[in-house]
Structure 1
Amino acid sequence: MAWVAGDRLQGGKYTIERELGRGRFGITYLVKNKNSDRLVIKTLNDDLLTSLSQQERGRLETMFWQEAVKLSRCQHKHIVEVAEPFKEGEHWCLVMEYVDGVSLADRRQSILSESEALRYIQQIGEALIVVHENRLIHRDVHPGNILLRVRDGQPEAVLIDFGLALDFDHILTTSRTEETSEGFTPPELYTQHTKPTGAYSDIYSLAATLYVLLTGKTPVSALRRKVDNARLVLPKDLNNQISDRTNRAILKGMKLDPKQRSQSMREWLDLLGLTGETSKTETPVPPKPESKINWIAVTAIATLIAAIGTFLSGMAGWIPIFKPSPSPSPPSLSPSPSSSKTP
């Protein structure tokens, strides 16, 4: 049964404050630990568990536990922190960091500037790279699952609420549309007969998220596009301030055929001109003019020293008291490590 405020878990280690939300598969609770730190605990929905056979229930719990353990290894500053799961009575539970912030779905501005939107998309994209490296797929990327918190005076995006048990629907007879996010779910997640195996599913959802951040409009669902031939309005038609590069990357990421999308998150971020923690679109800092003058001076000095050495060597043939001194090696013209860094 569902827990209520005041219930204690793990012998008093966690105290329930309130329920944060529930879906078909899971329920999330706000809790406090013994240090009064706020945390989130996610568990499987008891209503679903009681409707399953013992075999189905066991399989669902196993999948939840296995993916929760993998998720706990996904350490990244833009992923909500997760601890390894524990069992409370008959229920597996996952402890997560509580992020006190608003979601991108609740943003104050309907349309963000391209630079701001790309900053958040890059942060979540980098986080998803870590998720994919751990052989996980988020499955439910959309603005409501991206929270904004302030760190060092700057807002940053944090990815939350992984669809841990979504693949379990493959062994049930119910429609998967109950677990989809309209406009953000790729077509392959609408069917029970197709299991996502790559990053391309999350790429579709993140591209759709960028679409709504830049246009203020939720894109038409993939299901309608595929079944009813509904047209996806070009993002640039809704906001002519969007760059051609970003417009192309969004459309590439939202291809209905997974094979036509970018096959890795890094590849898709590169299409946007984003790499690592910095953007390729940033203007490089040109080398300082003094640097060039200094190298010319060094070359001139080296040439002068060599000429003096040659002159003294010739003098030695007719003035015995002069002995040619070895010519000093010119300074290395290799740039210093600091000058070789990419701005």
Structure 2
Amino acid sequence: MLRSGERFAGYEIERELGRGGMGAVYLARHPRLPRLIALKLLSRDVFGDVEVRRRFEREADLVARLDHPNIVPVYDRGIDDAQPWIAMRYIDGPDAAQLEAANLPPRQAVRIIAETAKALDFAHRRGVLHRDVKPANILLEYVDGEERVFLADFGIARLRDDATKLTQTGSFTATLAFASPEQLSGQPLDARSDQYSLACTLFRLLTGDVPFNAEHPVGIIHGHLNQPVPPVSALRAGLPPSLDSVLARALAKHPEARFDSCAEFAHAAQQALDNPVGATRVLPHSPFAATPSTAPPATAVAQPMAASAHKPATAAYTRQAPAPASTPPRPVSRAVARPPKKRSKLRGCLLGTAAIIILPLVGIGGCLAALDRNQTSHHPASTSAEPAPPPQDTETSAPETTDPAAGLPEHSGADAAVLSQRFPQMLPHADPNSDSNSGTGYQGAACTTYQHSAPPPDTGSGDPDLGNWAVAWDCQGGVGHPAFRFVMYRSAADAEEALGALNGYSRTDIKVHGNRYTNYQLSNSQLLRPRLVTEFHKGEDKHAFVMYSTGFLTTDDQLLEWFKAAPLN
């Protein structure tokens, strides 16, 4: 720690401005010019990490190329006494995290976001992502009564083309409360990820809280991936419901459903305040589904969040107001369409977060149980909601003494129906005439069907090759519940061949509720990501079935207990 009056890299230290995970920032005097600067130093204890050092140095190179009035400029960088440093312009004012929502007029909050959006779009056009947009990185300076807005700390900004390489080595440091679903799932990122974080920031400035808050990081992650956006109009008096639709779009789980740019989002928010008219209707809510990617998952450092009262997560709204004939349509009046259905559902989410989250949070299992018990109570019904389709009945059992495929043609829809009828309490109903089925399975899992020619993407846990299967129901169980995948083979020989090809496992015959199974517990699983392959011995005449299940934040024993409790028959 440097003290006042000390010199470092030629700069005279005035005082410490702040300290974070990567180092500290000091107010310092320039050695030759009558100027105060912000001097950022990388912590010595992480200097040995080559990738952290490269990222720190790259920060200066990236930001030095971003000459924009809303971006904090970098003056110089170097290494002194084996410690990297960056000299930046000193912004004499608070950051947006210090603003009290109750005292911040909504129009000022939107203006701060609009100025930040200009900086982000400028960086995006030059191939640079910020990746850590949050109120603490938005600095405010007041000169002659005018408020100036600066976006700071591109410390984890990276060129798009280099993102995958840096992600492989390990550290994802975006603050969890403002991270996009694709950041949390290790998916490829683009400018729309920064837009999501910017929308979380506006939500915080308007309400004093983040969209998805919880006592433990896993609950926050669950919110980003699965819960609808709480309407700000219900959290602060005077905010128009038209603003709910703008935030619902910018905070869409699927990037393609968001605005085309950060500036477009900010303009829509301004329009919502200027024109708070129109009728409302509830938008369908679609949980995040990770897209197939060859990029490895990013690892996330989950920063513990302070406990606070959890805001009710309600359905997202959109306003539809007919514009006058002489007025072009406003962005806010555009209904947000539900994104096209993905060929894959949530998988591999939080793989990188699991090990890092678990170590400091020993008691996380209890919070997961509480989350499941309380989740429904946090979603009050809305009287303006369109009628929802009736839930699929997953409790009806099919006779086990007959072949469920009898009379069904052999194509993917019929095959999916075979699986649904064979495991009616685990899988949703399948339409035998549809080549693509989806629905809700056991414990609320999001399930989707796949053909062998277009299999589910790898979860990142090292999924086994299950051989020549005909169709699969892939179900992502969400936070606290294992993911599971049922595959159907057209013959017992195909199933036996797939099981014979498994590598590295311990084999156990087990009897549960009078039924016999063979479990293959796969070796070399990731920390708290156990993997289990189950062979069924029902003696079906025509088909054979195998289940592959993977735990999340669970041990091998906990996954086995889940297996024993699952309604497999």
Q: Using structure 1 for the length normalisation, give the TM-score.
A: 0.67
Q: 1:144, CA displacement in angstroms?
A: 1.9
Task: Give the partner amino acid of 2:7.
Answer: R
Asked if the contact 1:105/1:144 (under 8 Å) is kept, the reply is yes
Q: 1:71, CA displacement in angstroms?
A: 0.5
Q: Kindly tell me: are residues 16 and 225 of structure 1, through their superposed partners in 2, closer, same or farther at Cα, counting changes over 3 Å? A: same
Q: Kindly tell me: are residues 213 and 24 of structure 1, through their superposed partners in 2, closer, same or farther at Cα, counting changes over 3 Å? A: closer
Task: Give the partner amino acid of 1:8.
Answer: R
Q: 1:103, CA displacement in angstroms?
A: 1.9
Cα deviation 1:238-265 (Å, max 9, x = unaligned): 1252234432111111112222222422
Paired position in structure 2 for 1:9: 8
Asked if the contact 2:4/2:15 (under 8 Å) is kept, the reply is yes
Paired position in structure 1 for 2:349: none
Paired position in structure 2 for 1:194: 187
Asked if the contact 1:245/1:271 (under 8 Å) is kept, the reply is no
Aligned counterparts of 2:170 and 2:128: Cα–Cα separation in 1: 24
Paired position in structure 2 for 1:223: 221
Q: 2:47 aligns with which of 38, 46, 49?
A: 49
Q: Kindly tell me: are residues 123 and 173 of structure 1, through their superposed partners in 2, closer, same or farther at Cα, counting changes over 3 Å? A: closer
Relative to total residues, which structure has the larger strand share, 1 or 2?
Answer: 2
Asked if the contact 2:72/2:88 (under 8 Å) is kept, the reply is yes
User: Residue 248 in 1 paired to residue 245 in 2?
Assistant: yes
Aligned counterparts of 2:120 and 2:206: Cα–Cα separation in 1: 21
Task: Give the partner amino acid of 1:189.
Answer: Q
Give unmatched runs, 5+ long, in structure 1: 283-343
Q: Kindly tell me: are residues 106 and 60 of structure 1, through their superposed partners in 2, closer, same or farther at Cα, counting changes over 3 Å? A: closer
Aligned counterparts of 2:47 and 2:127: Cα–Cα separation in 1: 26
Asked if the contact 1:3/1:16 (under 8 Å) is kept, the reply is yes
Q: 1:49, CA displacement in angstroms?
A: 2.0
SS in 2 for 1:6: coil
Q: How does 1:174-213 map to 2 (within 5 A)?
A: 176=172, 179-191=173-185, 193-196=186-189, 198-213=190-205
Q: 1:172, CA displacement in angstroms?
A: 4.1
Q: 1:90, CA displacement in angstroms?
A: 2.8
Q: 1:111, CA displacement in angstroms?
A: 5.1
Paired position in structure 1 for 2:27: 30
Aligned counterparts of 1:280 and 1:231: Cα–Cα separation in 2: 22
Q: 1:4, CA displacement in angstroms?
A: 4.0
Asked if the contact 1:273/1:281 (under 8 Å) is kept, the reply is yes
Task: Give the partner amino acid of 1:200.
Answer: R
Aligned counterparts of 1:155 and 1:44: Cα–Cα separation in 2: 30
Aligned counterparts of 1:180 and 1:64: Cα–Cα separation in 2: 15
Paired position in structure 1 for 2:155: 163
Q: 1:169, CA displacement in angstroms?
A: 6.8
Q: 2:143 aligns with which of 144, 151, 154?
A: 151
* Structure label with greater radius of gyration: 1
User: Residue 269 in 1 paired to residue 262 in 2?
Assistant: no
Q: Kindly tell me: are residues 83 and 220 of structure 1, through their superposed partners in 2, closer, same or farther at Cα, counting changes over 3 Å? A: same
Paired position in structure 2 for 1:86: 78
Paired position in structure 1 for 2:38: 40
SS in 2 for 1:255: coil
Asked if the contact 2:39/2:88 (under 8 Å) is kept, the reply is yes
Asked if the contact 1:69/1:84 (under 8 Å) is kept, the reply is no
Asked if the contact 1:111/1:213 (under 8 Å) is kept, the reply is no
Q: 2:90 aligns with which of 98, 104, 121?
A: 98
Q: How does 1:51-66 map to 2 (within 5 A)?
A: 52=49, 57=50, 59-66=51-58
Asked if the contact 2:101/2:204 (under 8 Å) is kept, the reply is no
Task: Give the partner amino acid of 1:32.
Answer: R
Task: Give the partner amino acid of 1:239.
Answer: R
Q: 1:121, CA displacement in angstroms?
A: 1.1
User: Residue 139 in 1 paired to residue 131 in 2?
Assistant: yes
Aligned length: 263
Aligned counterparts of 1:65 and 1:83: Cα–Cα separation in 2: 13
SS in 1 for 2:129: coil
Aligned counterparts of 1:19 and 1:190: Cα–Cα separation in 2: 32
Aligned counterparts of 2:224 and 2:206: Cα–Cα separation in 1: 24
Task: Give the partner amino acid of 1:265.
Answer: C
Q: 1:22, CA displacement in angstroms?
A: 2.7
Q: 1:123, CA displacement in angstroms?
A: 1.0
Aligned counterparts of 1:280 and 1:110: Cα–Cα separation in 2: 17
Q: 1:40, CA displacement in angstroms?
A: 0.8
Paired position in structure 2 for 1:307: none
Give unmatched runs, 5+ long, in structure 2: 214-219, 276-569
Aligned counterparts of 1:173 and 1:129: Cα–Cα separation in 2: 27
Q: 1:125 aligns with which of 102, 117, 125?
A: 117
Q: Kindly tell me: are residues 3 and 211 of structure 1, through their superposed partners in 2, closer, same or farther at Cα, counting changes over 3 Å? A: same
Q: Kindly tell me: are residues 135 and 126 of structure 1, through their superposed partners in 2, closer, same or farther at Cα, counting changes over 3 Å? A: same
Q: 1:173, CA displacement in angstroms?
A: 5.4
Paired position in structure 1 for 2:418: none
Q: 1:207, CA displacement in angstroms?
A: 0.8
SS in 2 for 1:101: coil
Q: 2:64 aligns with which of 69, 72, 76?
A: 72
Aligned counterparts of 2:156 and 2:4: Cα–Cα separation in 1: 25
Q: 1:126, CA displacement in angstroms?
A: 1.0
Cα deviation 1:87-130 (Å, max 9, x = unaligned): 32433321111111122222245253222221111111112122
Task: Give the partner amino acid of 2:187.
Answer: T
Structure with more contact order per residue of length (Cα contacts < 8 Å, sep ≥ 6)? 1
**Percentage of pairs with the same residue:** 29
Cα deviation 1:58-80 (Å, max 9, x = unaligned): x4333332332121121222222
Aligned counterparts of 1:154 and 1:143: Cα–Cα separation in 2: 19
